[in-house]
Amino acid sequence: MHIKGSRRRAGIAVAATLPLLAAAVAAGAPAQAASPQGRAVLAGSKPAWAKSSADRGPTAASAQVTAKVYLAGRDQAGQTALARAVSDPQSASYGHYLTPQQVQQRFGATAAQIAAVKAWLTGAGLTVTGANQHYLTVQGSAAAAQRAFAVQLHGYSKDGHVYRAPTAEATVPAAVAASVLSVDGLSTAPAKATHDSATPSDTLPGPGAAFVNSGPFSSYYGSKIAKGTPKAYGTTQPYVVQGYTGTQLRSAYGATASGLSGKGVTVAIVDAYDSPTIVGDAKRYAAAHGDAPYTGNQFKQVDAAEWTHTADDDCGASGWYGEQTLDVEAVHAIAPKAGITYVGAGSCYDDDLLAALNTIVDNRLATIVSNSWGEPELDSDPALDAVYNQTFTRGAIEGIGFYFSSGDNGDEVANTGTKQSDMPSSLPWVTAVGGTSLGIDKHKNYQFETGWGTEKSVLSADGKSWAGFPGPFTSGAGGGTSSRVPQPYYQKGIVPKALSTLNGGVNRVVPDIAADADPTTGFLVGQTQTFPDGTVKYSEYRIGGTSLASPLIAGIQALAQQANGFPLGFANPAIYARYGSSAYHDVTDHPYGKNTTLADVRVDFVNGVDASNGLVTSLRTLGKDSSLAATRGYDNVTGVGSPAAGYLRSYQHRHYR
């Protein structure tokens, strides 16, 4: 989820809305319930869009089906309980983590379970084409799939296409119910219509099209006033910053004063694909901006066996290069001596992203994992909630914490028409990272933060006013109340009831914590790009989005882990334990009082590269995040707040106040 000019957001491409899951899914338990036929239901396997009004008739019995049957393993309840115990600072088991081998031995699927699942699937006429400790891949006719899961498969009209889906929830025999976590593949509707046309072993494209920022710029917030532009909110506003560097951000968030570097800690970053120029770009950027040079094997790459869905109209592989570059350079800027392991998923689809996450957990490649990707909750597949949660709880047991950006479209109404939070950031076993607009002063000191939310108005043709002032909402930190994930224990007593009960019941609210994300107060990155004249060269530009906030928090957590002396693991219990203390800035949309609204002026190239097609000047009002608001206390834009200098001190000296 990144924003740089008008480029599209990187994110998961998956199936559309599915039914709500039971509370057990959010806790990490299998999504199953007893059915009248003596079989167990795989909740969420029938999409909500598979309505009778859209039914276009039965799928041909000979049509081919490919699916993944995810394995539940053993003792799901015990796995969840242990994940909570080792993550809770108040527990005697806090920090007593297991190795991947111990986790597999204790909670992984047994040979007998796998054999039983295989026997059921092959007995129905499906062929098992692949297997690992997480799932079985099966292929066969629609008739065989219908026998295996006791459902009918029909075609349904959706968004101008006809996609296959079950007519009811899929079920599994009682004999294997405890061994099956979920199934993915009975429905075929992807977020991109070209899902089924991708060619295996695609070649990654070269660097993507260039993006360049136009000046004038401020070197720190407010350093250069946009003289000659109309006043807004009673004053002439400053130009946007050129892009904060690691030196400024480390100082503002207390990292410099802490003396911590992240030494001995490894941060993993998961995105789709792998930029062919990332190593050179990261080293060049660090040298240009005073970040510590990379040493030895400090930066490692672990890539998928093959790349798929790389086309621009599918996942758009080159569009992910900027995401990866931001994540790597931001983590290194905050934690210059931390190891960075980049894990490139084979595509932007759920199964490949899950595979990347499991690669980290299965091999304990890192203890902090930054993820700058996601999708609106109602576009995500609830049948996979349990699968994601299984990965995250096993990671927690190993001392691994997962951080997810909360989204770049505020409450998602402008983007989807429906108020909703994003996934996977809404899941209970991840730390959801929201976004702020950050002011840093001349001396690199923290000046202010608002919640990141932007209203934009363009300079009028005569230059005397801001047209439509303050203008429509354009982008902002994702947040809000989940429609299907119950409130996790660590939010009880902290998240206001007015937020947790918005969708009925008492549900998960995101984010948990926040950091700088506003593209107008964003981070300067360096990346090799392709320019309109065909030249391919390194250049620098400012970038934002909660894709910036997530690696910033991951870097700060690397420093906290260094101070702590052992892995933080799933960090939310510790994050919420510090709520209301000097560990956080309590971010509000009006840091200087209700009568003061902050803004800045931005000049952009119309074509995103140079002035040949002209310039456009706009006013960006800060702290206007759709229906969301940064208020005193916990809020649905910044969570408990952003890290203050006291945050790292609380790990160094073991106190919260």
Q: How many Cβ atoms from other residues are within 10 Å of residue 98's Cβ?
A: 18
Q: Are 387 and 565 in contact (CB under 8 A)?
A: no
Instruction: For residue 433, give the 3-state DSSP assignment.
Output: strand
For the chain, the C-alpha Rg in angstroms (whole number) is 24
Residue extent(s) of CATH 3.40.50.200 domains in the chain: 246-653
Residue 126 has which token pair?
Answer: 């499906």
The full DSSP string for 217-244 is -BSSTTSSB-TTSPPBTTBPPBBPBS-B
Side-chain half-sphere CA neighbours of 505 within 13 A: 15
Residue 201 has which token pair?
Answer: 């072993």
Q: Which residues contact 299 (CB under 8 A, 6 or more apart)?
A: 279, 282, 328, 332, 339, 340, 341, 342
Query: Domain 246-653 class?
Result: alpha beta
Q: What is the pLDDT of residue 19?
A: 25
User: Is residue 321's pLDDT more than 90?
Assistant: yes
User: Is residue 290's pLDDT more than 60?
Assistant: yes
- 97-152 pLDDT per residue, tens: 999 999 999 999 999 999 999 999 999 999 999 999 999 999 999 999 999 999 99
Instruction: For residue 394, give the 3-state DSSP assignment.
Output: helix
- 500-512 pLDDT per residue, tens: 999 989 999 999 9
Instruction: For residue 565, give the 3-state DSSP assignment.
Output: coil
Burial status of residue 466 (CB atoms within 10 A of its CB: 0-12, 13-18, 19 or more)? buried
> Given pLDDT bands bounded at 50, 70 and 90, which one contains residue 194?
very low
| Rounded mean pLDDT, 562-572 | 97
Residues linked to residue 615 through DSSP beta bridges, in sequence order: 605
Q: Are 504 and 20 in contact (CB under 8 A)?
A: no
Which one has a higher pLDDT value, 5 or 616?
616
How far apart CA 171 and CA 33 sit, in angstroms, is: 9
| Rounded mean pLDDT, 588-604 | 97
| Rounded mean pLDDT, 426-450 | 98
Question: Above pLDDT 70, what percent of the chain?
Answer: 92
**CA 570 to chain CA centroid, nearest Å:** 16
- 268-277 pLDDT per residue, tens: 999 999 999 9
Residue 535 has which token pair?
Answer: 């030249």
Least confident range from 62-66, 201-205, 564-568, 597-601: namely 201-205
How far apart CA 19 and CA 30 sit, in angstroms, is: 15
Least confident range from 35-44, 181-190, 452-461: namely 35-44
User: Is residue 533's pLDDT more than 60?
Assistant: yes
Intra-chain end-to-end CA distance of the chain, in Å: 34
User: Is residue 299's pLDDT more than 90?
Assistant: yes
H/E segment holding residue 333? helix 319-334
Q: What is the pLDDT of residue 527?
A: 98
Among 360, 379, 367, 374, CA closest to 404: 374
How far apart CA 367 and CA 422 sit, in angstroms, is: 24
User: Is residue 18's pLDDT more than 70?
Assistant: no
What is each CA distance from 443 to 223, 342, 542, 636, in whole angstroms? 11, 33, 20, 31
- 42-77 pLDDT per residue, tens: 988 888 788 999 999 999 999 999 999 999 999 999
Q: What is the pLDDT of residue 190?
A: 64
CA dihedral 292, 297, 301, 305 (to 10 degrees): 170
How far apart CA 453 and CA 590 sit, in angstroms, is: 12
Q: What is the pLDDT of residue 49?
A: 81
Q: What is the pLDDT of residue 203?
A: 73
- 328-387 pLDDT per residue, tens: 999 999 999 999 999 999 999 999 999 999 999 999 999 999 999 999 998 888 889 999
Residue 46 has which token pair?
Answer: 């029938």
How far apart CA 285 and CA 123 sit, in angstroms, is: 57
How far apart CA 216 and CA 611 sit, in angstroms, is: 13
H/E segment holding residue 647? helix 645-653
As a whole number, the mean pLDDT across the chain is 91
- 82-94 pLDDT per residue, tens: 999 999 999 999 9
